[in-house]
Copies of this chain bind each other. A is one copy, B any other.
Amino acid sequence: MNMDKERFSQHISRGFNEELESLRNEVLRMGGMVENHLDIAIEAIVAGDSKMGLAVAGRDHEINQMEVAIDEQCSQILATRGPAATDLRLIVAVIKTITDLERVGDEAQRIGYLASHLASSQQHSDHYHELSELGEHVKKMLHEALDAFSRLDVKDALQVVEEDKLVDEEYDMILRQCISLMMEDPRTIRRFMDVSWVARALERIGDHAKNISEYVIYMVHGQDIRHLGLEEIRQEIGVE
């Protein structure tokens, strides 16, 4: 009798585990799509390809649909399973993560439009090199954040949080460059305004990757480390 009961609860629990597993997979699938859009948007900037920029901007709704669907999945699980502790933290982290992913999608859309604008209205510039480097950097951060999410790896998540400072510095450098170039030749003002908006969008994506990493730490440790300094975070969770 006892054994039957145990087997029954295992069965229940296996179904629940599958739901959570499917939820995590959906988040990673959404993450993959967002990475793909970002990749194309940056490529459109570097290649000066207006059509490519517009095409990726026009596909943002795919990401939005995934957000809505995953949100629905979270509500279903909350309502039917009444999860607690780690499971509950996973679901709260997912609700927050997909909001950040959706906003990364919005930034990729913005970069796509800016790529089209830059490509069609002005001659190509060598200064997109820095944008491309910043782009590679935040793409790497986003990828590592999603990787930390999939492996629940706090150490890697902390690494991403740390990286964000470097991205902010790169962004500041690009901004200063843009202003210098505009002052040198006011005919370039429009173009370098666009370049600075792209840099800003990329810097924002770095912030979102950082947010996602913080949710990973919250998921694993159950401590809310947002808004703490890095030193405080390390002390809180006991990672050197």
Query: Contact residues of A with B, CB < 8 Å?
Result: 61, 64-65, 67-68, 71-72, 74-75, 78-79, 82-85, 88-89, 92, 95-96, 99, 175, 179, 182-183, 186, 189-190, 193, 196, 200, 224, 226-227
Nearest-neighbour CB distance to chain B for A117, whole angstroms, equals 13
Cβ–Cβ contact A190 & B186, under 8 A: no
A89→B79 CA distance, assembly (Å): 10
Main secondary structure of the interface of A (DSSP, over half): helix
Give the residue of B92, B182, B224 whose beta carbon is less than 8 angstroms from that of A182: B182
Quick one: closest B residue to A64, CB to CB? B227
A82→B68 CA distance, assembly (Å): 22
Q: List the number of copies, as a whole number.
A: 2
Q: Which residues of B contact A183 (CB under 8 A)?
A: 186, 189
A3→B196 CA distance, assembly (Å): 68
Cβ–Cβ contact A224 & B99, under 8 A: no
Q: Which residues of B contact A89 (CB under 8 A)?
A: 75
Cβ–Cβ contact A79 & B84, under 8 A: yes
Nearest-neighbour CB distance to chain B for A80, whole angstroms, equals 9
A81→B96 CA distance, assembly (Å): 21
Nearest-neighbour CB distance to chain B for A16, whole angstroms, equals 14
Q: Which residues of B contact A67 (CB under 8 A)?
A: 226-227
A61→B228 CA distance, assembly (Å): 10
Cβ–Cβ contact B227 & A61, under 8 A: yes
Give the residue of B75, B99, B179, B226 whose beta carbon is less than 8 angstroms from that of A68: B226
Cβ–Cβ contact A226 & B85, under 8 A: no
Nearest-neighbour CB distance to chain B for A193, whole angstroms, equals 6
Nearest-neighbour CB distance to chain B for A98, whole angstroms, equals 10
Nearest-neighbour CB distance to chain B for A181, whole angstroms, equals 10
Cβ–Cβ contact A78 & B88, under 8 A: yes
Cβ–Cβ contact B74 & A92, under 8 A: yes
